Amino acid sequence: MTVSFVAILMVACVMALLARRLKLPYTVVLVVAGLIVSYINGAGEAGKLGIDIKLTPELLLQIFLPILLFEAAFHVDLKSFLENKRAILFLAIPGVIFGMLLTTGLFMATTQAIGIPVSWQVVLLVAAMLAATDPISVVAIFKEFSVSKRLGIVIEGESLINDGIAVVLFGVVIKITASHLGLTIPHLDTAESVQALHVLIDFLREVLLGTAVGLGIGLAISYLTSKVNDHLIEVALTAIAAYGSNVLAMHWHASGVIAVVTCGMMIGNVGAKRGMSPTTREAVFSFWEFAAFLANSFVFILIGLEIKLSGLWSDAGLILIFFVIMILVRGVTVFGVHGLVRREDLRLKKAWLPVITWAGVRGSLSMVLAMMLLATTVSGGENRELILNLVYGVVLLSILLQGTTIEWLMKRTGLLTETREELEYEMALARRQAIRCLVDDLEEAEKKGILSRETYEILHDKLLARRGANDQRIAQMLGQNSTLNDLELEMHATHLRALEKQVYRDLEKEGDIDYESMEALVRDVVDRGKK
């Protein structure tokens, strides 16, 4: 196990560097790496490379998924989420259910037309497994790019919410189909009779109770962090919140996914902003950033390890048909939601619709739901293999095809505002400005006698070291891409325009110019900024 852990971690680090060099989404490169490692590793318990870790449902749902969901939800701006809740919830709840049913119908009609018999139970089960976009895949890919804040909120918010809805929906569908397919799923009572009212009640209970658990734990941990001033303890409290909300929700037969997402949003928007010191927030951010990197690395490499290309060729035609139908249904759903939201300020922009459609990446959760079939009874063997091939094949196509082309689509639609490199450069420039202000403040405090000379020198040396490292990083980025100079020029120009507007407003307040003149001068500054 230790050898496997180290081997996967080494592969992840190499792939991260390679992804940056090739300018490809990190997740795509990891999956490809997993496929290559799987081929080299070969059969057996540990294989040639000594890798014997498997992506089991327990490993993903109880270990990796809480990390990735919590980290993503932690950074979601609650105000922006609520402002776009109508579009998000339409896509995440009725959109998932409608998408599953329409996909089933279209696939059945297509296979019947071409003379390939497939039972509706198999198709419905596969559609349920692939119903939702995967937050792990979507969020990981979107972190590579800079897009409109609202667009990012809609896509990430939907992927976080519909993940929980999909798990609940899968539980319902498996009860409907399992007996017909001869499948027995561990931890699910597939013999239970299915009644519409009971299904609706169970669905609402899992969703609402999961939300309540996440809300309660999130607010409780936020309160505790406001009473504790120790960054290590506060980091530990956030980890307790992530895993505790998942465990408690599952214990009460609620949605653990929804609980973790709700908990993460509460702590990120309440605990982090009101109860944590700047030092603690930095420690929490760094911890979860590293944890997410580690979890993402393992999940996507293990996905690649799990997929055996040789086993997919026999059903390649059906896999392609399902993938195409899935994309078409996704488009119908997205455009439909656009039409349902009547208020113009709440509607999805038309330019966003193709990107939202194409960003509906399927990934790790779909694979884990399919993996639950690996422990089924022997009687469903034939159906099981077809289901596994369809799910694995569609996931592979989705990650590789959609993951590698989403940047191109965003550029074509004019939605890619900045590259990851530009964002890093902006952050470095902002960090330089912040350090400069801190140095000035420190010097002022020392002159006024607020700080002792010894304390001043210690803090001053630390700031100079940070400034030196940051300046070195800026120089390195400029050496790799000289066009970043234009970005710095634009940032300073924007800063100067903001200062100029403030001068005019101050003059108006002091009575030196009238309001109309101030407005005209400010408009002139704004117009210059647009040129």
> What residues contact residue 332 under an 8 Å CB cut-off, 6+ apart?
102
Residue 141 is predicted with a pLDDT of 65
Beta strands in 264-312 (DSSP E): none
Each residue's pLDDT tens digit, 342-376:
666 567 788 888 888 888 888 777 877 777 665 55
Place of tokens 């993951």: 403
Residue 189 is predicted with a pLDDT of 47
> What residues contact residue 168 under an 8 Å CB cut-off, 6+ apart?
202, 203, 206, 207, 255
Nearest to 207 by CA among 254, 161, 171: 254
pLDDT bin (cut points 50, 70, 90) of residue 238 is: very high
Q: At residue 100, does pLDDT exceed 80?
A: yes
The CA distance from 281 to 271, in Å, is 10
Each residue's pLDDT tens digit, 147-189:
667 788 888 888 888 878 888 888 788 877 766 766 655 544 4
**Three-state SS at 318:** helix
* Residue-averaged pLDDT of the chain: 79
CA 455 vs. chain centroid, Å, equals 42
Place of tokens 């940056």: 20
Each residue's pLDDT tens digit, 455-472:
888 888 888 888 888 888
Q: At residue 326, does pLDDT exceed 90?
A: yes
Average pLDDT over residues 185-197: 52
Q: Kindly state the helix (H) or strand (E) to which residue 93 belongs, with its residue range.
A: none
**pTM for this one?**
0.70
pLDDT bin (cut points 50, 70, 90) of residue 127 is: very high
Average pLDDT over residues 432-460: 82
**Of residues 52 and 330, more confidently modeled:** 330
pLDDT bin (cut points 50, 70, 90) of residue 145 is: low
Q: At residue 23, does pLDDT exceed 50?
A: yes
Contact between 371 and 384 (Cβ < 8 Å)? no
**Three-state SS at 146:** strand
Average pLDDT over residues 116-120: 85
Each residue's pLDDT tens digit, 475-527:
887 777 666 666 667 666 776 777 787 788 778 777 778 777 877 787 777 66
Task: Write out the DSSP string of 37-71.
Answer: HHHHH-SSSSTTTT------HHIIIIIIHHHHHHH
Phi, psi of 419 (to 5 degrees): -85, 165
